[in-house]
């Protein structure tokens, strides 16, 4: 298993998104999002799942749903989740 580490920025973005979903769509929607993130985190830790390269060199992008994506870096010892972005934003990833 590979260690999956969240940057402080990504962790903050994750909790902001959870709070937004809870406040606007309810507990069920927030829990589904949380489960989806945990599942992806587990898949990343196996090291077997590959995602498309981002436009930014050295980064990969995992689309969680039509609104959100994880941007991460991978090496042999760890995966570092750099950002959780809104797919409708101006991020160039």
What are the pLDDT tens digits along the chain (93 aa)? 899 999 999 999 999 999 999 999 999 999 999 999 999 999 999 988 888 777 777 899 999 999 999 999 998 889 999 999 988 776 666
Question: Contacts from 86-91 at CB under 8 Å and sequence distance 24+?
Answer: 87/63
Q: Give the model's pLDDT for residue 90.
A: 65
3-86: what CATH class?
alpha beta
Spatial distance between the Cα atoms of 41 and 3, rounded to a whole number of angstroms: 10
Cα 22 versus chain centre, distance: 18
Give the residue extent of every domain in the chain. Answer: 3-86
Spatial distance between the Cα atoms of 91 and 35, rounded to a whole number of angstroms: 25
pTM of the complete model: 0.85
Residue 51 β-bridge partners: none
Nearest residue to 34 (alpha-carbon basis) of 19, 46, 23, 55: 19
């Amino acid at each position: 298993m590979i260690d999956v580490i969240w940057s402080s920025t990504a962790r903050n973005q994750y909790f902001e998104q959870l709070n937004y979903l809870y406040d606007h769509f309810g507990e069920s929607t927030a829990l589904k999002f949380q489960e989806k993130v945990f599942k992806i985190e587990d898949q990343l830790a196996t090291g077997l799942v590959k995602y498309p390269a981002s436009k930014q060199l050295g980064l990969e992008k995992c689309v969680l749903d039509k609104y959100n994506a994880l941007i991460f870096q991978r090496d042999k010892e760890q995966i570092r989740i750099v950002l959780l972005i809104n797919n409708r934003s101006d991020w160039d990833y």
